[in-house]
Amino acid sequence: MVSAGCRSRQPVDAGLAGAEFDSRREPMATASQQVRLVADLTMHVPRDTAGDLECGAASVVEGVDAVTGVEAVDVTDLRPRLNDLQIDATVTVAVETPADEDSEAAARAALADGFGVDAVERVRLDRAQGGAETPVLEHG
């Protein structure tokens, strides 16, 4: 379990508070699903990250747009470098994926696009959490 001392990602204010309503700016509704998965990642953790190595790895994964939560981080290898720490870790995360796509492939692609993530290997869906794949209608 990711320790309680780790800072969690705060919602970002897009600067739309107080803006007048304009129907032309209303985003289209898209169906998405939240999947829980376990993946082996190779990533770079900054040396000046607050907390321990587990918190640093969790903050890198939380920085991925599609990730809605990090449940566990298990660091399996550590390679110190000049400006950061390259680690291999097994992570358990919740990822928001489009409902009309293969959830495992979409989650893999979303994680691979994350800043600081070098490689995504052995992605497997974790079906232990009931109801995690129920499609949700959201405004995008």
pLDDT at 125 over 80: yes
Average pLDDT, the chain: 78
Task: Over range 84-89, report the average pLDDT.
Answer: 93
Beta carbons within 10 angstroms of residue 29's beta carbon: 10
pLDDT of residue 136: 52
pLDDT at 137 over 80: no
Task: Over range 44-57, report the average pLDDT.
Answer: 87
SS3 6: coil
pLDDT at 29 over 70: no
Cα gap 92→101, rounded to integer Å: 21
Beta strands in 6-103 (DSSP E): 29-46, 67-80, 84-98
Task: Over range 93-115, report the average pLDDT.
Answer: 86
SS3 77: strand
* Angle at 102 (CA atoms; ends 97, 107), nearest 5 degrees: 45
Task: Over range 77-95, report the average pLDDT.
Answer: 92
**CATH for the 29-130 domain, from 2.115.10, 3.30.70, 1.10.10, 3.60.21:** 3.30.70
Q: What is the DSSP string of 90-139?
A: EEEEEEEEETTS-HHHHHHHHHHTSTTEEEEEEEEE-TTSTTTT--EEEE
Residue 76 Cα distances to 2, 14, 55, 85, 106, angstroms: 15, 37, 14, 13, 25
Beta carbons within 10 angstroms of residue 95's beta carbon: 26
Question: Is the pTM here over 0.75, yes or no?
Answer: no
pLDDT at 16 over 50: no
